[in-house]
Amino acid sequence: MELYPAIDLLEGAAVRLVQGDFARRRVYGDPLALAKAYTRAGATWVHVVDLDAARSGSPVNRALVLEIVRTAGVRIQAGGGVRTEEDAAGLLDHGVARVVLGTAAQESPEIVDRLADRYPGKVAVGLDHTGSGARVAVSGWERSGGTTLRQALDRVARTDLGAVVVTAIERDGTLEGPDLEGLRAVLGWTPHPVIASGGVRSTADLGALAALHAGGRSLAGAIVGTALAEGTLDLEEAIAACAPSG
């Protein structure tokens, strides 16, 4: 299971939101410095989200995302406001290893299909949900996409994706632990690699995620943001915890 340290961008700064609430933010300063710190500690991926773009659809922090790509020296998975093929190409053609489409995947699924054909393995669908998968959210989590998590996964089942990124909004930024049962269900619902996000607070949480299995499948990755930014979880220990024991 790969570890994806997360950097969320808002107004040019690295932040974390609590349960996706833009009014409940914690600021962690320079995102470039944070990305370099994660790289020095051994990260092989960094997950970057342009929160301004996720909410508005305008690539507010595009130049900053690409600067992280140029300076971090590791693979960057980027999302937030990737609504068109041009948006995705503007990232993938300039060094981003994988793009994550959220709102577009719900409102314009044909874009995901075309991008997956054009960039095999470099396109992921982000499914941010509330109520144990009862509602998938879009537009920076500010409105419903009109489907359940299961329906959204079924919609992309035949698309050649690099991953699906599944975020439990109610746990995101809370350090309350991941949604293990929900993720176990997701493993049974989709053929795609699953990257989990939301609630990780400790190496024990990461160990539980790494050990999670359903139908002979396990998680491909885990995104961790708040615990690393707050310093309550050591990155080197977190990476080690992503390898299941036994």
Domain count, the chain: 1
Predicted pLDDT of residue 35: 96
Give residue-wise pLDDT tens across range 60-106: 899 999 999 999 999 999 999 899 999 999 999 999 999 999 888 88
In a domain, 234, yes or no: yes
150 C-beta neighbours (distance < 10 Å), count:
16
When comparing pLDDT for 172 and 45, which is higher? Answer: 45
In a domain, 246, yes or no: no
- Within 8 A by CB and 6+ apart from 167, the residues are 126, 127, 128, 129, 197, 198, 223
Predicted pLDDT of residue 95: 97
Q: In this structure, are residues 118 and 110 in contact, taking their beta carbons and an 8 Å threshold?
A: no
Take residue 224 and report the two structure tokens written for it: 């961790």
Eight-class DSSP state of 23: E
Distance CA 48, CA 8 (A): 6
When comparing pLDDT for 81 and 124, which is higher? Answer: 124
- Provide mean pLDDT across the span 125-150: 68
Distance CA 72, CA 146 (A): 37
- Domain range holding 199? 2-241
> From the candidates 8, 172, 179, 205, which is the catalytic residue?
8
Q: In this structure, are residues 126 and 102 in contact, taking their beta carbons and an 8 Å threshold?
A: yes
Q: What is the pTM of this model?
A: 0.92
Please state, rounded to an integer, the average pLDDT across all residues of the chain.
90
Short-list 78, 83, 58, 55, CA closest to 124: 78
Predicted pLDDT of residue 244: 65
Residue 133: band (very low, low, confident or very high) from pLDDT cuts 50, 70, 90: low
Eight-class DSSP state of 245: -
Q: What is the CATH number of the domain that holds 25?
A: 3.20.20.70
- Asked about 8 being catalytic, the answer comes back as yes
Give residue-wise pLDDT tens across range 152-203: 999 999 999 999 999 888 877 778 899 999 999 999 999 999 999 988 999 9
Q: In this structure, are residues 198 and 172 in contact, taking their beta carbons and an 8 Å threshold?
A: yes
Distance CA 91, CA 187 (A): 28
In a domain, 74, yes or no: yes
- Provide mean pLDDT across the span 194-220: 95
> From the candidates 128, 172, 179, 205, which is the catalytic residue?
128
- Within 8 A by CB and 6+ apart from 82, the residues are 53, 88, 91, 99, 100, 101, 102, 104
